Structure 1
Amino acid sequence: MLAIKRKKGESILIGENVEITIVDIANGSVKIAIEAPRDVTILRKELYKEVEEENKQAINVDISVLKNIKKR
């Protein structure tokens, strides 16, 4: 992991086509702007983890229901 300090208006580059700019710093939070190609998916980590957990729960299906359908 890389940890660097940036001030308002400063940026970092990731690869050749992703730029992250510090837009504002206030009340203990940082507002960032991300410029990236449309084919690059950008998600908040907590949202990604929530979707991942929902997908895991969706896999846990009661197989007996499927067996009953097959019998009909």
Structure 2
Amino acid sequence: MLVLSRRKGEAVILQDEIEITILGVEGDNVRLGIKAPKSVEIFRKEVYLSIQEANRESAHQSSIGVEELLKHLNNPK
């Protein structure tokens, strides 16, 4: 992990197209401004992890086999 010290109004640049600026510091809170292309998705980490978990859960939904599907189609209840 790269660790940088920045003051209010200072910024860092990532890969020529993402700029992160320190807007303010109040106690333990740091306000960031992020300039990035619209194609770059930006999430708070807790939201990103929640999205990943939901995707994992939906990918692991149980599915029935072809034989079971045919059985249900031929003998609807």
TM-score normalised over the length of structure 2: 0.79
Amino acid of the structure 1 residue aligned with 2:9: G
Amino acid of the structure 1 residue aligned with 2:45: K
* Unaligned ranges ≥5, structure 1: none
Residue 58 (1) aligns with residue 63 (2): no
> 2:43 & 2:61 partners in 1: Cα distance?
27
TM-score normalised over the length of structure 1: 0.84
- The residue number in structure 2 matching 1:17 is 17
RMSD (Å), alpha carbons: 1.8
Within a 5 Å distance, the mapping from 1:36-55 to structure 2 comes to: 36-55=36-55
Compute the displacement of 1:67 (Å): 5.6
- The residue number in structure 2 matching 1:3 is 3
Q: Percent identity among equivalent residues?
A: 32
> 1:26 & 1:19 partners in 2: Cα distance?
21
Amino acid of the structure 1 residue aligned with 2:59: I
* Unaligned ranges ≥5, structure 2: none
State the secondary structure of the residue aligned to 1:52: helix
Compute the displacement of 1:65 (Å): 8.4
